[in-house]
Amino acid sequence: MVQTPGSRHEISRLEAFSDAVFGFALALLVVSANPPSSYAELMDRMAGGVSFACCFALLVWIWYEHNSFFRRFGMRDGYTILINSVLLFVILLYVYPLKFMFDSAFARMLPRLSPPQPMRLYELANASAVYAVGFIVIFSLFALLYWRAYANRAVLGLSELDAFDATSSMGHHLVSVAVGVLSFLVAASAPLWLAPIAPMVYIVMGPFHYVYGLRREWAREAEAMQLASGALSAKSASR
């Protein structure tokens, strides 16, 4: 079942279920730490708030991407439900690895009563590779969702610019996949002394997405001008 873009959007059971899973994932982040029983532990939990904020921001970003897709296309066919189910499974599976990675990253910068045990280089490489696999899978699934929308553009009634935007969104997610692959290659193949670089690779996400977005914006403007020119020509020919 699909919904024509631009029509009034009603929250489906699929979206409601997905939102509940995202809420549960956030709850897992909260309950992963025991409540403080002393002032020192309270301050320790507050110091860990930086790590929690990063995890929260990443999950909200993933939720936003998920929400944007379903609000635009409203697809509820079997394949879309399958892709969405795998996506939610991976998100839940990676909640604790996500928090562990951020806790480890900030443990060296913020004083903690019970910081995670320092990882050896091979452990850091393995943990970074595991995190990269989850990152790659999540954004590959987002790209697959947009590919499904593009493949069903006739059924969805997408205009040529809507279809162009769908491919642009798919490309953005593939850029994220490429960054994840780069991080995985550093973690899995580079010498161990380069292991700390693997989690730092994600810094290039911003520049890569900016350059890609700029190029697609120029291409969209050219596409819009070409369509407008074609429409004017057709209108003139019909007179």
The residues, ordered by sequence, that sit 6+ positions from 134 with a Cβ below 8 Å of its Cβ are 90, 93, 94, 97, 98
Tokens of 239: 């007179």
- Judge contact between 55 and 104, C-beta under 8 A: no
- Pick from 101, 130, 120: which is nearest to 188 by CA? 130
Residue that is written with structure tokens 């998920």 in the block: 66
* Averaged confidence pLDDT in the chain: 84
Tokens of 96: 């604790």
Q: How far is CA 97 from the centre of its chain?
A: 16
Work out the widest C-alpha separation in the chain, in whole angstroms: 83
Exposed e or buried b for every residue in 97-110, given b needs 16+ CB within 10 A? ebbbbbbbbbbeee
* pLDDT of the residue at 4: 45
Low-confidence ranges of the chain (pLDDT < 70): 1-10, 31-48, 107-118, 230-239
Which residue spans within the chain are E strands per DSSP?
none
* pLDDT of the residue at 174: 97
* pLDDT of the residue at 99: 83
